[in-house]
Every structure is written in structure tokens, then in C-alpha cells.
Structure 1
Amino acid sequence: MNLLNQIVQGLLLGGYYALLACGLSFMFGVMRIINLAHGSLTVVAAYLLWVLAEPMGWHPLLALLAVVPAMALLGWLLHKLVLERSARLGALVPLLATFGLASVIDNVLFQHFGADTRSLATSIGTLAYDSWELPGGLYVGQLPTLVLVLAVLLLGGLHAMLAHTALGRQIRAASEDADTARLVGVRTGTVFAAASAITMVTVTLAGASLALRATFDPFSGPQQLIFAFEAVIIGGAGSLWGTLLGGVVLGVAQNLGAQVHPQGFLIAGHATFLVILLARLYASGALRRFFSSRRRAAP
């Protein structure tokens, strides 16, 4: 029963990781950009919510309604001022630009808020720790369950948007071949900026989940980036539903690892990531060798 309980808790933790990794996966799938400031921007959203909820006394849900459009605008500006310009200079420049942006964000947050940890768990009353009892003595936290449901709805909504809306078709066209898309009238700069704004909406939701379920400080961003990156790689880069699977696998691995050793929480997650990454690299290399040999053997 303890094993089953750890798997269930890992599943719920995986919902948060999927929500956290959603924006990273979406941006890579659309623009082929790995945003190294993703974790730091998540913490920015958490701090904005904290400022409105704690010093100003807003309810966290009301604060979220105010922060979402602000972060979406920030995403639009981020693309226009940083990502669009740096992407023209090659794949390495956006990595360097977003790495520098992350460093600036972390230090600005530290200068303004100090090193103290913050949380919004006290702002939502008993929801922060209430749970439902399931048959067999299993307890499922209400807040983690809501986060998992939100992750599924968000990933499903993004998938439906890409498949069934005009903006989604334009995003897919620009992602496949931006030059050809421009020839048929797609304003790729605007489309990519809109995709960045959508990404920042997902970042805001992840920041809200971080603030409500745990603690954060100005330097929490790099760790959140690592968790998001591992979930994306485990599930397959650019795959939205794969991101959900990757988050769940990572969460379950961490929870099971924590039962083996006190430090096993992080070690098991990193080990799972490395094993899957190496397996993907080996399989990719084997496939290339196979098809290369078939081409040489063809008459």
C-alpha cells in the first residue's frame, strides 16, 4: 500500500511538472527555441502574485486574473525585443540571450525581495493541505489534484488550439517553414509573438501553482528550469501530451527515490532523465546507422 501511495503522490507531483514544462515544450515546438529564462520567469509570476495577494490583500485568484494579461504582454515584448532578434543569428544566440536574461531576473528579484522564502499557501486556507480519502486508505491532496487537472486541461486546450483554430494553423505553418508561410500571407513575426504570449500564460499558471503549493525565493528559477527540462526530454521535446507523460514519470521517480534514501528524491529524478536521454540518443544513432546501411546496400 505504501508503494501505491507513493506512485499516486508522484502522479500528482507530475501534474505540477507537466504544468511547469508546458510552456518550455510549446516554445520549443513552435520556434525551436530553448528558453533558459523559463524557470526565472515562473518565479517572476509567483512574486507578482505574492505582491498582489500579501501586501495588497488581494485573493490569489483575483491576483491571477491581473497577472495573466501582464505576463502575456511581457511574453509578447520578450519575443519582439529578445527572441526574434537573437533567433536571426543562429540557434546558440537565443540560448545565450535567455541565459543572460535569467541571471538578470534572479539578481533583480534578490535585490528587491531579499533571500527570504515566500509562499501563498496561507492565502487559500485549508485548501493548501486538505485531502480526499480514497478506498484502501489512500489520501489525495486537493490542491495537487487541481493542479494535475489544470495541467491536463491546459495541454488539451493547447492541442485543440493548434489543431482547430486559425491561429493554431498559422503557428504550425510558421513552425514548419517560416519562409513558405510568409509567402502565403502568414505574418510570422506576429504569430511567434502570439505564441510567446501564450507561453507566458502557461508560465503564470505554473508560477501560481509553485506559490500555492510550495515556497520560492529569487533563486528558485534554475531548479524549476531543470525540472521542466527533464520533463520535456523524458516525454519527447515538442510533444504536448509527451510533456504530461514526462512530468508524471519524473514525479513518480522522485517519490520512489525518496523512499530509498533521503537524498533519493532528486537523484532518482536526474537518473531517470539521464537513462531516458541516453536511450533516446542510442536509438537515434542506431536508426541512422540502419537507414544508412540500407541506402548503401540498395542497388
Structure 2
Amino acid sequence: MTNQILQGILLGGYYALIACGLSFMFSVMRIINLAHGSLAVAAAYLIFVLSDRAHLPLWLCLVAAVIAMAICGWLLQRLILDRSARAGQLLPILSTFGLSMVLDNALFEQFGADTRSLADAIGDLSWDSWELGGGLFVGKLPVLIFVTAVVLLSVLQIILSRTALGRAIRATAEDPDTAGLVGIDARRVNALAAAIALATVTIAGMFLAMRATFEPYSGSQQLLFAFEATIIGGVGSLWGTLIGGIILGVAQTIGASLHPLGFLIAGHAMFLAILLVRLFVPNLASLPARLVKRGATA
């Protein structure tokens, strides 16, 4: 059981990594980005192409992909989300759903149904591990992913709490009209927030390609995991996303140890249980997010 919990915690780092962009966009723009998983897969393909065909170092592939996806995030907000938001709250969700369909089919048209992976590009890192004693082993790649998730969430938290951009983002999220009265350009701030969210999606896409195989239609499953981690941890809470990812990961690994089909079933069951608690016992359900917020403030 100890091994399952440990592996679940490390798996939760990946879920937090892929969920933080989704949580960030919702907390700032109140938009549920249904293209989130497809964008992560698109980023994975971009890094794969740069690495496999252009033969660039992996770190340079990541830098180039982050810049390209951040620009895409800016354009996505300015050209699609901002305009669709003027027609009500439903249209941006439908727009991102349509975007996910376009991305999935465009990737299928370009790359076919064959699965891809970056495992060859990282060599021994894809399978190597450390022995902790007592029969416990931790993979080097899962540890790297977990540490990256913590660092990324810390950077986002610092940006939001200690920079002028972060204050502008929080003000726009709270009340864009009032923020405009004090000289904050809400459209520009939202575009910057979308660029930041897509940069985090790119990092998640790279680790998706490292830890597993992916294909053009892998985005829906990644979106589901990101959504469940976000809801479990509390919508709009960055550190809550990490807690949600860990809870989801531990539930899945324990479920997998009990039954071959238990991996997904246990994760979905945990999500539904916490969702019901949030609906019927809101004070108890928001306790983890309140504790995280109190700790961050302290």
C-alpha cells in the first residue's frame, strides 16, 4: 500500500501540471477551456517534430514550443475567446469545443493514428529509478515531473501575488469593469493570462510525450484528468490543483492494485464523491482550499 500511495503522489504531480493551465484560465477569465487537452497534445507533437525531424536538443525544443504556444494563447484570447465572450458565457465554451475538434482532426490528418513518444529522446530517464529501501522504488522521470509541477505552481503563485501583472490579473478576474476604471486593459491582461496558461500546457505536453505514448485523439483523456484534478482541489486554487492531482493519482494507483480496471474507475469514483460533497457540504469541501490559501498567505 505504501508503494501505491507513493506512486500516486508522484502521478498527482503530472495531473497538477496538466491541470494548472485549465485552473488558471478559469480563475482569470471564467472560461472552461475544452480544448485544453488537445492543445497539450498539439504541444507534444510540436516538441516531437522539433526533436525527431529538426534534431534539436530537447531543452531548445521546449523553449521554442513554449514561445510558439504562448503566442497561440495570445491569439486564441484576442481572436476567439474575447469576441465569443461578448455573446454570453456559453459561446466561449462552444468555441473551445469546436477548436478541440479542429485540432484533433488536423493532427490526425497530418500524423495519422500512429502513437508517438519522446522516450527515445530522454534515454535512461524514461525508465530509470532510485531505490528507497524496503522494496520501494521511485522513477526519476515521475520525480522530475512532480518537482517541475511544484516549481511551476510556485512561479505562478509568485507572479499572481508579488508582481504588477499578477495584481492586474487578479483585479481583472475580480471585476474587469472596475479594473478598467483604474487604467487596467482587461483585454490585454486576459491575453497575457492565456499566453501564460498555454505556456504551462506546453510543459505538460512535453511530459505527456516523455512518460507515455500519445496520438491525435489523446486530448480528451488529458482534459478529463485535468478537469477532475481541478474540481477535486478547488476551482481557481493553484495549490489546490496540486492537492487535487495527488488525491486523484493516489485513488487511481490504489484502484489499479485492487482490480485491472480499477485505475480509471477509482479515479472517477473519487471525483464524483468529492463533487457530491461539494454540492451538499460546501464548508467541508472547501476546507483543503482554505488551508492552502491560509498557508500561502502565512
Q: 5 Å matches for 1:138-287?
A: 138-284=136-282
Give the alignment's TM-score, normalised by structure 2: 0.94
Q: Distance in 2 between matches of 1:195 and 1:52?
A: 26
| Equivalent residue number for residue 91 of structure 1 | 89
Q: Unaligned stretches of 5+ in structure 2?
A: 286-298
RMSD: 1.3
Cα deviation for residue 58 of structure 1 reads 1.7
| Equivalent residue number for residue 98 of structure 2 | 100
| Equivalent residue number for residue 127 of structure 1 | 125
Q: Match of 2:281, SS?
A: helix
Q: Distance in 2 between matches of 1:52 and 1:200?
A: 18
Larger Rg, first or second structure (1 or 2): 1
Tell me the alpha carbon deviations over residues 98-153 of structure 1, each in whole angstroms, 9 at most, x when there is no partner. Answer: 00000000000000000000000111110111111113221110011010000001
Q: Match of 2:130, SS?
A: strand
Q: 1:17 aligns with which of 12, 15, 18?
A: 15
| CA shift in 2, pair 1:229/1:286, >3 Å | closer
Cα deviation for residue 285 of structure 1 reads 9.9
Give the fraction of aligned pairs with identical amino acids, expressed as a percent: 64
Give the alignment's TM-score, normalised by structure 1: 0.94
Q: Unaligned stretches of 5+ in structure 1?
A: 288-299
| CA shift in 2, pair 1:210/1:82, >3 Å | same
Q: Distance in 2 between matches of 1:285 and 1:248?
A: 21
| Equivalent residue number for residue 293 of structure 2 | none
Q: Match of 1:133, SS?
A: strand
Cα deviation for residue 284 of structure 1 reads 3.7
Cα deviation for residue 218 of structure 1 reads 0.1
Q: What is the one-letter code of the residue matched to 2:35?
A: A
* Aligned length, in residue pairs: 285
Q: Distance in 1 between matches of 2:265 and 2:92?
A: 29
